[in-house]
Structure formats: structure tokens, C-alpha cells
């Protein structure tokens, strides 16, 4: 589409900010997969509408402040990227635009407090642990808390799993086939340490030695996807430094982290670490992609047949375009039947901190997702992202004997583990 954006004024992010605008042909093919268009039913809450709006802001005909509502409504789920035949990189556009918006917006106090609480807590495991514990104390006090903080409390886990201290190096079993580094994740370490444990076990069973750098930090995805670049760069820098060059890959097991690192080229555009950041991004792989690439060693049968419905996390399926690998891995277990839910492409409503900032929409999406998953009558729900896991578990809770929600590697690990 035509525009009169002054490209020179946009700095290093110019490509991310203009590619989408230029490539969009306004065909509307992205509309049916957009969760906000589906629930709100207005063009302005669609990807096509937002692209138009961002264009106008960049051209200077609409003030940033007026554009923020629909921009904030976007979940960043990237379903529109998958749907677009014209190759519009909406994901990069919205990330770069949000960074710009965050710098320019006037911030109401409530939002500022909430954001800074989240972004100063979740990326740091020890703080997150503390916060979840304190948060629990806050639940009884919720009646007197500001309204904007309540959804955050609803999402708190009832109880925290025990801390699991993982070693710095996890050896390969049998013949060694490779050596990787693992991003341990911040929130995930606290909420579901068993995912990291399972990842290490599955990598090991496949002949991979894993290095878990002690000095690694949060990848910055949470902050990046909300536009708070400075915060994102702070921890991302530390992460880049902590990963030795001689690793075959940096493995992520939370889709949100993987997609965040993929966007380092935007986060570090024009910064001095740009090339290091790009190199690391090139090396970063979701655990399912990696296992599939090296060739999974056949896992043994499970003790009894298992019906597993696979949920496509947006940040894996749309942002990293990985739908095949997890399915191939699960299908490698001979007595596992893989089920496909209706409307796989629609977000579950988790999307980073969306479920905290836009609780109503997130709730609607969560409920629909739970229904769709249950309609396949599964024994287990499998997925590859901690955010979706919390959101889906929460919305399954209201059903009688809901199926457990597990990471793909947890199911694989349980197959391998019965051997030993």
C-alpha cells in the first residue's frame, strides 16, 4: 500500500516499521484469524485496521495518543502473519511500533505501576518466586486492591512447586551427538521447573549434553513484546554474554522466549551488540525443532495408550512457524493418538502479559480454547509454552476432572524414563 512516511525519521527500525505497510494489499485475509476482530467485530481491531492506523501515525496524520487503544488491544499472537498471503511481517511491525509508542505515550499511574511490577518481577526467578508467594497473601486482601491488579491475582498459582536446582552441565546418555545451551526461562523456572527437568532428560536420552549457564538472564521477550525495550535489552545483553560460542544451539522450551530472541534484530537495531544478537538469534531453536532436526531416537511405548490433543502456542506456530516438529515428536510414541482441536490458529488469550492487562478479552478466548480442546476428548493437553499452560489450566479448572496440561517434552520424558 502507498504511504508518505518519512523513512529518514524512523532510525534503525525503519524496515520493521515500513515493510508491513508497504506489503499489505488490504485483502482482509487476516481478519478471520484475528482474535480481537473476532470478539470485538470492528475493523479498527483487526490487523488490517491496525496496519492502516500505524501508517497514519507514522505519517503524522493521527497523534500517537489516539491510536493507542487498538494497538494495546492486539495480543501479538501473530496469527495474522500466518494467514497473510502477501508476506506482511506484522509481528515485526507491531513490536517496533510498540517500542515507539511506549516512548511517546503518557502513562496513567495505575498502568505504570502494574507494568513495572510485572516487568521488574517476572523476568527474575527469585523475585518471581517471592512475588507469587506474596501474591497469595494478597488474594484475601483483593477486595481492597485497585481493579487493574485483580486479574493478575486470579492468575496466581494456588501452590508453587518445589524449587528444582538443576546442574550446570547435564550429560548425554549413550553416544554423544551434540552439545547445546538451555535457556532456563524466568517465570517457567518458578511455575513449572519440571519442564526444564524433562527437557534435560529428553536431550540426554537423545545423546545431547546440555549446558545451563548459571549467569544467564531473562531473554527479554516479555518486556520486548510490550514495547519496554530498555528493560528488555538489559537482561538480553546479559543472556547474550552468557552463551558460549561453541554451542550447537541455544535451546528454548518456552515459545514466547524463542520468538522474543528471534526479534533481537529489532531490539538491537542500531545498538553496538547488533551482530552478536543476530548470531545468537540464528542459533536459537525451540526444543521441538532441534530434536526433530537431529532425528529423535524412538521413544518406547507408554504404559497405556494416550489420547493427546496438541495446542499450537501462537509464539511457536505463528511466530516461529513451527507446527510440524512437536507433532512428529509426539507421533513417534507408537501408542499415542494425536488429536487436533478446532480453530487451532486462534490464540488462547495468554499472550505475554495480555491476560493481566486485558482480562475480559483474555477470559473469552481462554474459555473458547478450553472448549475446543475438550471437544476432542483428550487424556492430556500438550503444548510448548508456559504462558498458554497457565492460561489453559485456569480455564479447564471449571470442568469436572480436567485433563492435565503438559509440555511436549514432559510426555516424551515420561516415555523415555520408564526405560531406566
Partner 1 sequence: MELLYALGKLYPSTRLFTRKSQLVAYESDGLTAFRAEPLAVVVPESQEEVIETVRLCYQSQTPFLARGSGTSLSGGSMPVEGGIVITLNRLNHILRMDPENRLAVVETGVVNLKVSQAAAPHGLYYAPDPSSQQICTIGGNLAFNSGGAHCLKYGMTANHVLGIKAVLADGEVVELGSESADTVGPDAAGFFCGNEGLFGVALEATLRLTPKPQRYCTVLAAYDSLEKAGHAVSVVVESGLLPGAMEIMDRLSMDAAEAAVKAGYPKDAQGLLITELEGEKEAVEEDFKQLLFLIEKTGAYETRIAKDEEERLMIWKGRKSAFSAVGQLSPDYLVQDGVVPRSRLGEALAKIKEYSKEAGIAVANVFHAGDGNLHPLIMFDGKKDGTLERAEALAGRILTMCVQMGGSITGEHGVGVEKKKYLPEMFSEIDIDCMKRVRRAIDPLEIANPGKLFPGGEAPALTTHGAHPLEKAGIISRE
d(CA 410, CA 154): 26
For residue 124, the minimal CB distance to partner 1 (Å) is 37
CA angle 183, 187, 189 (to 5 degrees): 60
Q: How many residues bind partner 1 (CB under 8 A)?
A: 33
Question: Which of the listed partners (partner 1, ligand SF4, none) does 62 bind, with a CB threshold of 5 to 8 Å by partner kind?
Answer: partner 1
DSSP 33: G
Helix (H, G, I), strand (E, B) or coil at 323: coil
Question: Residue 306: CB partners within 8 Å, gap ≥ 6?
Answer: 333, 335, 336, 337, 379, 380, 411
- Note whether 10 binds partner 1 by CB under 8 A: no
DSSP 379: S
349 in Cβ contact with 35 (< 8 Å): yes
- Note whether 72 binds partner 1 by CB under 8 A: no
**Virtual CA dihedral for 359, 361, 366, 369, nearest 10 degrees?**
-170
- Note whether 62 binds partner 1 by CB under 8 A: yes
For residue 84, the minimal CB distance to ligand SF4 (Å) is 3
Question: Which of the listed partners (ligand SF4, partner 1, none) does 269 bind, with a CB threshold of 5 to 8 Å by partner kind?
Answer: none
Q: Which of 67, 96, 99, 329 binds partner 1 (CB under 8 A)?
A: 67
d(CA 56, CA 340): 40
- Note whether 140 binds partner 1 by CB under 8 A: no
For residue 351, the minimal CB distance to partner 1 (Å) is 22
- Note whether 66 binds partner 1 by CB under 8 A: yes
- Note whether 43 binds partner 1 by CB under 8 A: yes
d(CA 277, CA 195): 26
Applying CB under 6 A, which residues contact ligand SF4? 24-30, 33-36, 47-48, 50-51, 74-80, 83-84, 86, 88, 90
Question: Which of the listed partners (partner 1, ligand SF4, none) does 90 bind, with a CB threshold of 5 to 8 Å by partner kind?
Answer: ligand SF4
For residue 94, the minimal CB distance to ligand SF4 (Å) is 6
Question: Which of the listed partners (partner 1, ligand SF4, none) does 395 bind, with a CB threshold of 5 to 8 Å by partner kind?
Answer: none
Question: Which of the listed partners (partner 1, ligand SF4, none) does 139 bind, with a CB threshold of 5 to 8 Å by partner kind?
Answer: none
For residue 75, the minimal CB distance to ligand SF4 (Å) is 4
Q: Which of 24, 114, 257, 314 binds partner 1 (CB under 8 A)?
A: 24
Question: Which of the listed partners (ligand SF4, partner 1, none) does 34 bind, with a CB threshold of 5 to 8 Å by partner kind?
Answer: ligand SF4
Whose CA is closest to 291, among 333, 345, 242?
333
For residue 42, the minimal CB distance to partner 1 (Å) is 6
- The torsion region of residue 295 among left (phi > 0), alpha (psi -120 to 50) and beta comes to left
Burial of residue 105 (CB within 10 Å: 0-12, 13-18, 19+) is: middle
d(CA 106, CA 246): 45
Question: Which of the listed partners (ligand SF4, partner 1, none) does 130 bind, with a CB threshold of 5 to 8 Å by partner kind?
Answer: none
For residue 185, the minimal CB distance to ligand SF4 (Å) is 22
**Could you tell me the sign of the dihedral formed by the alpha carbons of 16, 46, 102, 21, in that order?**
positive
CB atoms within 10 A of CB 271: 16
Q: Which stretch binds partner 1 (CB under 8 A): 60-68, 157-165, 241-249, 372-380?
A: 60-68
Helix (H, G, I), strand (E, B) or coil at 200: helix
Question: Which of the listed partners (partner 1, ligand SF4, none) does 47 bind, with a CB threshold of 5 to 8 Å by partner kind?
Answer: ligand SF4
Question: Residue 136: CB partners within 8 Å, gap ≥ 6?
Answer: 156, 158
Question: Which of the listed partners (ligand SF4, partner 1, none) does 2 bind, with a CB threshold of 5 to 8 Å by partner kind?
Answer: partner 1
- Note whether 56 binds partner 1 by CB under 8 A: yes
CA angle 407, 409, 413 (to 5 degrees): 125
CA angle 54, 55, 60 (to 5 degrees): 95
Residues at the site binding partner 1, with contacts judged by CB under 8 A? 1-2, 22-29, 31-32, 41-44, 46, 48-50, 52-53, 56, 61-63, 66-67, 84-88
Amino acid at each position: 500500500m502507498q504511504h508518505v512516511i518519512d523513512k529518514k525519521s524512523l532510525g534503525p527500525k525503519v524496515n520493521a516499521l515500513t515493510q508491513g505497510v508497504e506489503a499489505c494489499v488490504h485483502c482482509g485475509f487476516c481478519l478471520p484469524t484475528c482474535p480481537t476482530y473476532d470478539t470485538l467485530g470492528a475493523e479498527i481491531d483487526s490487523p488490517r485496521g491496525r496496519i492502516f492506523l500505524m501508517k497514519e501515525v507514522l505519517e503524522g496524520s493521527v497523534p500517537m495518543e489516539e491510536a493507542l487503544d487498538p494497538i494495546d488491544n492486539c495480543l501479538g499472537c501473530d496469527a495474522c502473519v500466518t494467514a497473510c498471503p502477501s508476506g506482511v511481517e506484522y509481528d515485526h511491525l507491531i513490536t517496533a511500533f510498540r517500542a515507539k509508542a511506549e516512548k511517546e505515550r503518557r502513562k496513567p499511574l495505575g498502568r505504570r505501576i502494574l507494568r513495572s511490577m510485572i516487568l521488574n518481577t517476572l523476568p527474575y526467578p527469585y523475585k518471581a518466586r517471592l512475588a507469587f508467594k506474596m501474591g497469595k497473601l494478597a488474594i484475601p486482601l483483593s477486595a481492597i486492591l485497585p481493579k487493574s491488579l485483580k486479574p493478575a491475582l486470579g492468575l496466581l498459582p494456588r501452590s508453587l512447586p518445589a524449587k528444582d536446582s538443576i546442574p550446570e552441565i547435564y550429560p548425554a546418555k549413550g553416544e554423544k551427538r551434540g552439545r547445546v545451551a538451555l535457556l532456563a526461562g524466568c517465570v517457567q523456572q518458578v511455575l513449572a521447573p519440571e519442564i526444564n527437568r524433562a527437557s534435560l532428560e529428553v536431550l540426554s536420552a537423545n545423546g545431547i549434553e546440555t549446558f545451563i549457564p548459571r549467569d544467564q538472564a531473562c531473554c527479554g521477550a516479555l518486556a520486548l513484546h510490550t514495547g519496554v525495550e530498555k528493560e528488555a535489552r538489559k537482561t538480553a545483553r546479559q543472556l547474550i554474554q552468557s552463551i558460549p560460542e561453541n554451542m550447537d544451539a541455544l535451546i528454548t522450551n518456552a515459545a514466547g522466549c524463542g520468538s522474543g530472541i528471534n526479534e533481537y534484530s529489532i531490539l538491537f537495531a542500531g545498538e553496538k551488540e547488533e551482530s552478536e544478537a543476530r548470531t545468537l538469534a540464528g542459533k536459537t531453536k525451540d526444543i521441538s525443532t532441534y530434536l526433530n532436526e537431529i532425528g529423535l531416537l524412538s521413544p518406547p511405548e507408554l504404559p497405556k495408550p494416550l489420547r493427546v490433543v496438541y495446542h499450537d502456542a501462537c509464539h511457536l506456530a505463528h511466530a516461529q512457524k513451527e507446527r510440524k516438529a512437536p507433532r512428529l515428536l509426539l507421533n513417534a510414541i507408537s501408542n499415542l493418538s494425536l488429536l487436533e482441536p478446532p480453530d487451532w490458529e486462534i490464540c488462547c488469550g495468554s499472550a505475554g502479559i495480555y491476560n493481566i492487562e486485558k482480562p475480559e478479552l483474555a477470559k473469552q478466548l481462554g474459555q473458547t480454547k478450553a472448549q475446543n480442546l475438550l471437544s476432542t476428548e483428550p487424556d492430556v493437553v500438550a503444548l510448548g509454552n508456559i504462558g498458554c499452560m497457565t492460561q489453559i489450566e485456569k480455564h479447564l479448572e471449571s470442568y469436572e476432572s480436567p485433563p492435565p496440561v503438559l509440555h511436549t517434552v514432559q510426555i516424551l520424558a515420561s516415555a523415555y524414563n520408564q526405560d531406566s
